[in-house]
Amino acid sequence: MPSRQDQEEDLDTLESESESKHPLLPTSLAKGDLDEDHLAYLEISKRIQRIFKTCCTVLAPRLLRSLVPSFLRSSNGTSKLHPTSWLDGLRGIASFFVVIHHFILVWFPKLSYGYASDPEYYNLFQAPFLRIIYSGRGMVTIFFVVSGYALSYGALRKIRNKEFDKVLDTLASSVFRRWLRLFLPILVSTFITVIFIQTDFYWDAAVHSVTFLPRKHPTWAIQIKDWWWSFVLVSNPFMSIEGKDVYADPYGSQLWTIPREMRGSLVIYITLLGLAKAKQAVRLLAMIGISLYCLYITQWDIYLFLSGAILAEVQLLVNELIHEGFFHSSKFIPDSIKENKTTVLHTVTIFGAVLATHMLCYPDIGDDLTPGYGYMIASTPAQYDNKNLRQRYWLCIGAVLLGFSMAFSPSTSSNPTPLLQRPFNTSFVQYLAKVSYALYVLHLHLVWTVSYRLFLMAQVLDPAAYLIRFIETAVMMAILCFWTADLFWRGVDAKSVDLAKWLTNKCFVN
C-alpha cells in the first residue's frame, strides 16, 4: 500500500506530464480534481480524433473522387440517345470550337485573315472548311439556332397535340427557370475572375495592352462592388440590345452572348404563347415572317432563335406527313424523285451542309479580298453596313442552312441514324454537349492565365521551337479545359439546373 507521500509524488508527476503534453490544461485545479479532469480531457481528445479520422476516411475519398473527371470514371453504360441528340452534339462541338478560336488566335493572330487576302496569307488553315475549327463567331450563331429549337420543341409538340394546359405549364416553368439556368453559373465564373485579378493571377494587362480585362481595384471590397454591378448589367433581362452593339462583361468577355440568349429565350416563349392556338399554317407563316423581319432590321440573334423554332415546327410537320404517307401519294412530287428520294435527299442535304460550312468560315478580316466571298459581299443587304455586320449576316444564313441540312439528312441502308447526324451522336461529342456551357463560360480563365503566359515566354523562340511550344501548350490547355469544365459542370452548372427545378416545384401550384 503506497504511502500518502508516494501518492502526492505520483500526482505531481502526473500534473507535470499533463502540463507538458497538454499545455492548455488549467494548472490552477486542485490536485484532487486533476485525475478526473485529465481523464475527461483525454476522452474529449479521443472523440475529436475519432471524428476527424472518420471525416477523413469518409470525406477525403469522396473529395478525391469528385476531382476525377467524369469521363475517367467507370460507367454503367452510355447515355441513351434521343431523336434530337445530334443537336446537343452540335452545340458541344460549337462550344469546343469557340475554345479553339480564343486559344489559337492568341498564338497565330494572322489566322483571322482570309485565305489569299494578302500575299503573306496563304496558310492552309486559313482556307475555307479547314478554318471551321476556329470559326468562333460562326459557332455563336449555331448556339442560337440550337437554343431556338430546344426551347420550342416540347411546347410545339404539345401545341400540335392540342394539349394547351400542358403548353401553359411548359412555358411557365421555362420562363421561371431560364434566368437561374443562364446566370447562376455566370455569377460563379465571373467571381473566379475577381479572385484572379485581386491575387495577381492574371498578368499585368496594362503592360501588355489588354484592355478587355477588368481593372484591378485597390481593395477587395471595391473589386467585388465593381464585379457585382457588372453582373447586374449583364444579367438584366430588360436591357436594350441593339443589333449592331455587342456588350462584353469585363469579367468575362465571351459572355456578351448570354444576354442575347436570355432575350432570345423570352422571344421564343412569347411567340409560342401568342401563336399557341393559331392554325398550323398561320403559326408557321407568322414565325417565318417575324424571323425575316428581325433579320431585315439587323436583329440577327432573334432571327436565329426563331429560325430554330421554325426548324422544330417544320420537322414535326414533315414527320407527321411521312407518318400519314403524304409524300408517297402526293401528285405534286414527280415519280422519279419518289423512286430516288434517298439519293435526292442525300444530294440536297450534303450540298446544303457544304455551302453552310463555307458561309460559317467567313473570315474575320479581309473578306473583300478572300476568294469565294466577293459575291456574298455584293449580295449583302445595305443595312448590314460594316464588315462585322456583314459577317454576322452570312454566318446567320449558314447556321440556319446547316440546321435544316442536318435535320433532314436521310439514313442509309446500313445505319438507321441520319448520315449527317452520326458524328454528333458519338460518345465524345455527347460528352462535349454535357460540358458545353461550363466549357464556354470558363475557358477564358485558362486562356488569359496559362496560355497567354506561355505565349509571352515563347516570343524569343525560333519558329520551330515556337510551334513545339504551341503544341505543348495546346495539350496542356486541352487537359485543363476539360478537367475544369467537368468540375464546373458537376459542381455549378448541374446544381444550378437542380436548384431551378427545386424552386419551381416549391413555388408553383399543382
- Name the β-bridge partners of 113: 365
Per the prediction, the chain carries an average pLDDT of 86
The closest of 36, 35, 41 to 11, measured between CA atoms, is 35
Cα–Cα nearest to 345, from 273, 286, 406: 406
3-state secondary structure of 342: helix
Cell numbers for 357, please give them.
Answer: 460550312
| Confidence at residue 29, expressed as pLDDT on a 0 to 100 scale | 44
Contact call for residues 261 and 237 (beta carbons, < 8 A): no
- Total count of residues recorded for the chain: 510
Query: What pLDDT shows up at residue 270?
Result: 97
Q: Report which of 131, 139, 142 is spatially closest to residue 366, judged by C-alpha positions.
A: 131
d(CA 191, CA 220): 12
Rounded Cα distance, 129 and 491, in Å:
36
Position 37 in a domain = no
| Entry pTM | 0.86
Does residue 245 surpass a pLDDT of 70?
A: no
Interval 358-388: pLDDT, tens: 999 999 999 988 998 988 998 999 999 888 8
Band (329; pLDDT cuts 50, 70, 90) = low
What is the rounded CA–CA span in Å between residue 265 and residue 273?
12
277-296: average pLDDT: 97
Q: What is the secondary structure of 60-104 as a DSSP string?
A: HHHHHHHHS-GGGS--SSPPPP-TTHHHHHHHHHHHHHHHHHHHH
Q: Which residues does residue 412 pair with via DSSP β-bridges, in sequence order?
A: 415
CB of 100 closer than 8 Å to CB of 133: yes
Q: How far apart are CA 216 and CA 234, in angstroms?
A: 19
Pick left, alpha or beta for residue 200 (phi over 0 → left; psi -120 to 50 → alpha; otherwise beta): left
Cα separations in angstroms, 398 against 307, 365, 392: 12, 18, 10
The yes-or-no verdict on residue 12 having pLDDT over 90 is: no
Residue 418 lies in a domain: yes
Please check whether residue 23 lies inside any domain of the structure.
Answer: no
SS3 for 252? strand
Q: Please report whether residue 360 resides in a domain.
A: yes
At 374 the pLDDT is: 83
| Model confidence at 22: pLDDT above 50 | no
Tell me, yes or no, whether 218 lies in a domain. yes
H helices present in 29-70, as ranges: 31-67
Give the integer Cα–Cα distance in Å for 110 and 117: 11
The band of 25, judged by pLDDT with boundaries at 50, 70 and 90, is very low
C-alpha pair distances (Å), 195 with each of 98, 206, 207, 220, 484: 24, 18, 20, 9, 16
pLDDT of residue 19: 43
At residue 412, what are phi and psi to the nearest 5 degrees?
Answer: -115, 170
**Straight-line distance from the first to the last Cα atom of the chain, in angstroms, rounded to the nearest whole number:** 80
Number of folded domains that form the chain: 1
Q: What is the pLDDT of residue 24?
A: 45
In a domain, 216, yes or no: yes
Q: What is the CA radius of gyration of the chain?
A: 30
Q: Is residue 139 part of a domain?
A: yes
pLDDT at 473: 96
Tell me the DSSP string of 171-195: HHHHHHHHHHHHHHHHHHHHHHHHH
3-state secondary structure of 331: coil
Domain of 354, in residue numbers: 91-112+123-507
Looking at per-residue pLDDT, the higher value among 252 and 292 belongs to 292
In a domain, 36, yes or no: no
Question: Can you tell me the mean pLDDT for 85-106?
Answer: 96
d(Cα 45, Cα 25) in Å, to the nearest integer? 12
- Residue 305: per-residue pLDDT: 98
Burial of 470 (0-12, 13-18, 19+ CB in 10 A): buried
pLDDT over 90, % of the chain: 64
Give alpha helix (H) positions in 161-299: 164-198, 220-234, 257-275, 280-296
Q: Is the pLDDT of residue 99 over 90?
A: yes
Mean pLDDT of 118-147: 93
pLDDT of res. 61? 63
Lowest mean pLDDT across 191-200, 237-246, 429-438: 237-246
